[in-house]
């Protein structure tokens, strides 16, 4: 068994074109990472591909949680976080299956937490300009201004608040009261970062280039951004009135 202090959580829904490629790309890195796939009942057989890889090649490095349907990005990650904490991982990552997040950036996120003393490392599209490839302009603008809007409303000084490519130190997820996280869609990403910031964790943005998926279909929708838009106002109010927990190691 190849021991790893790091687990990468990858939520999937209909990612049969990408899942084997992303698993092999991660396991081809020099640094050893394990992977937990959380599949929301993909009708295209994504979970079957993962099971084959687990049985044939990656028994001790690849893990799978199957869920009965589309239950939301936030609930998938929270279930994955709890699993990773129980299993004793020190560094817990979020990553998409579709290669919009480059596996080669994983060691940089790891190093920002393991070597530089940060608690959260964010793979940021906007920390050094707009580093997005092959996105429709409307989506680039929506995402970019969503982060500007979050910053304006909350005073939270992060350039890419909706980023879904992240590394958390164990103590961050131990401290955040995961069952109190309210949002399920992209507002979940904002809420997790904002909560870590309010508790007092050290957050660093690492510049990455975000590439639009080559295969499969995007899960983005107007409803996702609607939740984010109104959710940010709610987070601001929470920030004033909520008592955040003290940091646990």
Confidence of residue 216 (pLDDT cuts 50, 70, 90): very low
- Cβ contacts of residue 128 below 8 Å, gap of 6+? 207
Confidence of residue 217 (pLDDT cuts 50, 70, 90): low
**Per-residue pLDDT at 125:** 80
Instruction: Give the mean pLDDT of the chain.
Output: 86
Q: How large is the average pLDDT for residues 182-202?
A: 89
The token pair that represents 100 in the structure block: 């919009």
Q: What is the chain's Cα-based Rg?
A: 17
Q: 113-145 pLDDT, tens per residue? A: 999 999 999 999 877 656 566 656 666 666 667
Report which secondary-structure segment, H or E, holds 62: strand 62-66
Q: 61-70 pLDDT, tens per residue? A: 999 999 988 7
**Per-residue pLDDT at 1:** 46
Judged by average pLDDT, the poorest of 87-101, 192-206, 234-248 is 234-248
Confidence of residue 79 (pLDDT cuts 50, 70, 90): very high
Q: Identify the burial level of 51 via C-beta atoms within 10 angstroms of its C-beta, where 0-12 means exposed, 13-18 middle and 19 or more buried.
A: middle
Answer for the pair 132, 241: CB distance below 8 angstroms, yes or no: no
């Amino acid at each position: 068994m190849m021991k790893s202090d790091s687990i990468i959580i990858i939520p999937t829904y209909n990612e049969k074109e990408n899942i084997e490629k992303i698993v092999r790309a991660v396991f081809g890195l020099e640094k050893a990472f394990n992977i937990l796939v959380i599949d929301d009942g993909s009708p295209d057989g994504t979970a079957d591909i993962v099971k084959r890889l687990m049985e044939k090649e990656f028994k001790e490095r690849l893990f799978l949680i199957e869920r009965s349907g589309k239950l939301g990005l936030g609930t998938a990650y929270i279930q994955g976080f709890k699993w990773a904490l129980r299993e004793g991982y020190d560094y817990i990552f979020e990553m998409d299956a579709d290669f919009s997040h480059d596996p080669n950036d994983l060691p940089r996120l790891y190093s920002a937490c393991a070597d530089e003393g940060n608690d959260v490392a964010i793979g940021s599209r906007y920390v050094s300009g707009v580093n997005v490839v092959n996105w429709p302009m409307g989506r680039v603008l929506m995402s970019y201004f969503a982060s500007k809007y979050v910053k304006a409303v909350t005073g939270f000084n992060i350039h890419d608040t909706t980023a879904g490519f992240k590394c958390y130190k164990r103590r961050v997820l131990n401290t955040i009261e995961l069952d109190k996280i309210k949002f399920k869609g992209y507002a979940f990403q904002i809420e997790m970062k904002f909560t870590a910031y309010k508790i007092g964790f050290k957050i660093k943005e690492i510049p990455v280039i975000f590439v639009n998926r080559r295969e499969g279909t995007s899960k983005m929708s107007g409803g996702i951004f609607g939740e984010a838009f109104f959710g940010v106002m709610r987070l601001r109010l929470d920030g004033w009135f909520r008592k955040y927990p003290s940091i646990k190691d």
